Amino acid sequence: MFTLLLAYIFEQVDAAADGQEALDQLVENSYDIVFTDLSVPRMSGFQLIQKMQQQSLQQPIIVMSAHDDDVLR
């Protein structure tokens, strides 16, 4: 559903089923912006961001979460 919404705003939208797939796509392709959730399978959103920094991937990141814990916000 979120992907469909983004397709109205952006020319091209790619989605990943999990954090590792997202990282693989980020390494192989050029993106203007990254949207991630904190709770994704195989590699959390936190881990994805760390891996992006380690690999010098410079895209802006928008992090989303359904967590209601203030510590995670």
CA distance 71 to 38: 13
- Bridge partners (DSSP) listed for residue 63: 36
Residue type, 41: P
CA distance 66 to 73: 10
- Structure-token match 């392709």, residue found: 29
pLDDT 10s digits, 52-70:
999 999 999 999 887 666 6
pLDDT 10s digits, 23-41:
999 999 999 999 999 888 9
Q: Which domains does the chain have, with CATH numbers?
A: 2-66 (3.40.50.2300)
**Under a CB-based contact definition with an 8 Å cutoff, are residues 38 and 48 in contact?**
no
Q: What is the pTM of this model?
A: 0.81
